[in-house]
Amino acid sequence: MEFKTIIEPFRIKTVEPIRHTTRAYREQALQDAGYNLFLLKAEDVLIDLLTDSGTGAMSSAQWAGMMLGDESYAGAKSFYKFERAVQEITGFKHVIPTHQGRAAERILFGSVLKPGDMVLNNTHFDTTRANVEYRQGTAVDIPIPEAHQPDLIHPFKGNMDLEALEAHLRDHWEYIAMVMITVTNNSGGGQPVSMGNIRAVSELCRHYRIPFFLDACRFAENAWFIKTREEGYADKTPLEIAQEMFSCADGCTMSAKKDGMANIGGFLALNNDEWANKAKTMLVITEGFPTYGGLAGYDLEAIAVGLHEALDEDYLRYRIRSVAYLGDILTANGVPIVQPPGGHAIYIDAKAMLPHIPPLTYPAWALSLILYLEGGVRSVEIGSVMFGLHPDGTETPAAMELVRLAFPRRVYTQSHVDYLAEVILHVNTLRDKIGGLRIIQQQPALRHFTARLEPLGSSR
């Protein structure tokens, strides 16, 4: 007999209390935080879905591994364990540890981009885009057109638009420094990229001799979608699928805070000797010696174990199902979300839910505030606050107005998700009463982290 209930494939050894607050308390907390959820105190949040990055629970094997951490400045045993784990999965020649994903991005782009260079991506994550633009490069997003239709169901909505890629390569190849594919496509709804698409992009890049990199943060979740959705992969292990994905690329940037199952860490891995040498020089100047790259030996141990745990089939089945479980409840009750549910998160389509709020008064931001106010739930806006402001100071609406509910790995159980669903369905009944906001203070880049806002209609 095979039972159909998919259970959390772990039991809980350590617990961390979470704290209920009153609605009045949260109202004050929001005001104090300038209506920016990034500026809240985490202890004032009941269920924290701000990010799945660095927020996961480590396993007993990871904690045990940490006790083996070799803290030698150079040539530590922990580095070689880390390097072996990364190479077994990615096959890349050079493995450069960094303190997190954006450090890998900065080191890569800082080593190879010239002003005016272009980087093409299915969709740049915000730090990736910021790092390209910081080097005076141009970050171009070319997802398939289906990616812009939140309610459209497509098995691999994270795919890159091959025609657009070919046109760019043909017309601008001399300015294109590299092509990247982000797996899964975080800013586009946590949507997977098919092996067929990765392979086709790889072939085009080889033809035009343009380096091809993966932004591999959620490589294991992407591998699971390939296994369950793409023909020919059902009998392959997630590890085999991941290896095949990486074999198509010349390198990758990675935040080990996601599918590395660690609280901190990342890496840049690549085959090109010259680029690796440049990157290592930059690493020594700003991160640390190449065998630790800003991490403790024990962090390298945790990642070495975590990378393989992320590829465990029982874990991936539970992981992807627990996100889809919330998606199913919301869909059944008429809450518009990006379809189908992504790997690490549910994205509520605020444009569809709050059509009365114009994009530049930030509907998704407004919705994320109400979810906190009503239920103590913290989410993140992926919309015009995050993406609306351009380097030249102009502001235009983002392609989509989404509220992301990102699931930390191995942290919340099904009753947390049931509570969450109840909060969202309640907020959905209030939707006509939700209003927009204006920004009263902001930074020129990555403004969402620090901006202060006020509800429209309120006076300062």
Which residues contact ligand F0G (rule: CB under 6 A)?
51, 53, 100-102, 125, 127-128, 182, 186, 215, 217, 255, 257, 266, 406
SS3 assignment, position 194: coil
On the question of a cis peptide bond just before residue 340, with omega within 30 degrees of 0, the verdict is: yes
Q: Shortest Cβ contact with ligand F0G: which residue?
A: 101
Q: What is the DSSP string of 239-291?
A: HHHHHHHHHTSSEEEEETTSTT--SS-EEEEES-HHHHHHHHHHHHHHT--TT
User: For residue 70, what are its two tokens?
Assistant: 């070799």
Q: How far is the CB of 61 from ligand F0G (least distance, A)?
A: 22
Q: How far is the CB of 456 from ligand F0G (least distance, A)?
A: 27
Q: How far is the CB of 183 from ligand F0G (least distance, A)?
A: 8
Q: Return the number of the residue (138 or 182) whose C-beta is nearest ligand F0G.
A: 182
User: For residue 28, what are its two tokens?
Assistant: 């004050």
How far is residue 430's CA from residue 326's CA, in Å, rounded to a whole number? 20
Q: How far is the CB of 442 from ligand F0G (least distance, A)?
A: 19
Side-chain half-sphere exposure of 451, counting CA atoms within 13 A: 22
Q: How far is the CB of 291 from ligand F0G (least distance, A)?
A: 20
Phi first, then psi: give them for residue 182, nearest 5 degrees.
Answer: -95, 120
Q: Return the number of the residue (168 or 257) whose C-beta is nearest ligand F0G.
A: 257
How far is residue 359's CA from residue 343's CA, in Å, rounded to a whole number? 26
Q: Return the number of the residue (323 or 406) whose C-beta is nearest ligand F0G.
A: 406
Q: Return the number of the residue (347 or 362) whose C-beta is nearest ligand F0G.
A: 347
Contact 95, 87 (CB under 8 A): yes
Q: How far is the CB of 78 from ligand F0G (least distance, A)?
A: 19
Contact 111, 271 (CB under 8 A): no
Q: How far is the CB of 124 from ligand F0G (least distance, A)?
A: 8
Contact 206, 215 (CB under 8 A): no
Q: Return the number of the residue (73 or 449) whose C-beta is nearest ligand F0G.
A: 449
Nearest C-alpha neighbor of 118 from the set 179, 42, 43: 179
SS3 assignment, position 7: coil
Torsion of CA 44, 453, 347, 412, to 10 degrees: -10
User: For residue 212, what are its two tokens?
Assistant: 């091809």
Q: Return the number of the residue (227 or 378) whose C-beta is nearest ligand F0G.
A: 378
Sign of CA dihedral 107, 113, 116, 118: negative
Q: Return the number of the residue (361 or 387) whose C-beta is nearest ligand F0G.
A: 387
Q: Return the number of the residue (50 or 434) whose C-beta is nearest ligand F0G.
A: 50
Distances (CA, A) of 324 to 328, 331, 404: 6, 10, 14
Q: Return the number of the residue (78 or 182) whose C-beta is nearest ligand F0G.
A: 182
Q: What kind and span of H or E run contains 332?
A: helix 313-332
Q: Return the number of the residue (357 or 451) whose C-beta is nearest ligand F0G.
A: 451
Contact 224, 343 (CB under 8 A): yes
How far is residue 114's CA from residue 72's CA, in Å, rounded to a whole number? 36
